[in-house]
Amino acid sequence: MTLTAWWHCWAVNRRISRTWRSVGVANPINLDSIGTLNLERLMYIKSFIDKLSDFVEQVYKVDTAVIAAYYPEWLERGKGAVNYLSAPEFPTDGKNGSFLFPGGYITNADLSTYRPITSHSDEFLIKGIQESAKHAWYKDEAPQAPWEGTTIPAYDGWSDDGKYSWVKSPTFYGKTVEVGPLANMLCKLAAGRESTQTKLNEIIALYQKLTGKTLEMAQLHSTLGRIIGRTVHCCELQNVLQDQYNALIVNIGKGDYTTFVKPNIPATGEFKGVGFLEAPRGMLSHWMVIKDGIISNYQAVVPSTWNSGPRNFNDDVGPYEQSLVGTPIADPAKPLEVVRTIHSFDPCMACAVHVVDADGNEVVSVKVL
């Protein structure tokens, strides 16, 4: 990426922060008030959406193709779990029953195995998720459904064959899966979403123009494949953002200022709930049990837990681990190749990559901020 492009990225990021401040997470809507979401702020948001669309098309998409052309080896490295899971996103009915973007599940990197997930209440989705602490420093090693999940620390030292992580290992019907932009893109492609295929084809065409080569589908299961998936998603989101803004203006014009659906939970009895979100890093879910008006259990299965989890209960390696197998390291003291692949997952925490020699001695620890 050129210095000019980097500066443009930084400027766009600054505009995003200012836009969030002007919208306000929980601001009421009043077109005449200076302290709420008013007409002036709505027009500012519209101007930013237009600028963001220009950036995605003219900078982000082009940079992705250029990086793929100049670093083709990263289309062959970084292959992860090859089972992919994605939640549907952008509800269209206010009840999480229908969605603009489809979710789904793909096994063995084969798009023909795609199983659609159509709602957040899909029993196939809810019943398939478990977490194991067999290789994490917690009690209760056997797989647990999140509603029954426990998180009780039990640190007993590092062990290559035992516990070696503070992250649990989530599975979907017993399988390790990858979530995130690659999973999101592949599920939308398998579902036949036309705009996803169109945006991917545009990147492939740019890549072919630069290299004279065709970007194959098999190469998407890679470090750069995740970058491409994230770019495709952003290209689609610019259109969604325009549509969502127009829908907001129409609702305001009709006098509909509703911003959320108020829950109605009885004061007595036990109730279970789960919320899903296809976040930029992948599928996020929060699981809650309420008993007599009090939260009795709360578990979160977040994107970076899915991807950074250690070996699962069956000792299958996690997505991060699998993606690093076979990666050539030019300098073990500066394992930048490791960082490059882990960055493609966009981990949500400051991550520490530890390089250990054959005797278990740490060679170097690289902290990525």
Residue from 188, 201, 203, 224 nearest 80 by CA: 224
Nearest Cα neighbor of 324 from 74, 82, 79 is: 79
CA distance 79 to 308: 14
* 351 in a known ligand binding site: yes
Tokens standing for 203? 């990147």
Provide the token pair at 113.
């195995």
Amino acid sitting at position 116: P
Residue 235 labeled ligand binder: no
Q: 156 and 137 in contact (C-beta within 8 Å)?
A: yes
* Integer Cα distance of 61 and 231 in angstroms: 6
DSSP calls for 19-75:
HHHHH-TTPPB-TT-TTSB-HHHHHHHHHHHHHHHHHIIIIIHHHHHHHHHH-GGGG
Bridge-based pairing state of the strands 270-279 and 282-291:
antiparallel
* Cβ neighbours around 218 below 10 Å, total: 12
3-class DSSP state for residue 232?
A: helix
User: Helix or strand or coil: residue 91?
Assistant: strand
Q: Are 15 and 55 in contact (CB under 8 A)?
A: no
Enter the tokens of residue 16: 């995003």
Closest to 165 measured CA to CA, from 301, 307, 310: 310
Closest CA to 339 of 363, 318, 368: 368
Question: Is 354 labeled as ligand-binding?
Answer: yes
User: CA 48 → CA 14, 45, 51, 55, 234, distances in Å?
Assistant: 11, 5, 5, 10, 15
List residues forming the annotated binding site for Mg(2+). Answer: 354
List residues forming the annotated binding site. Answer: 348, 351, 354
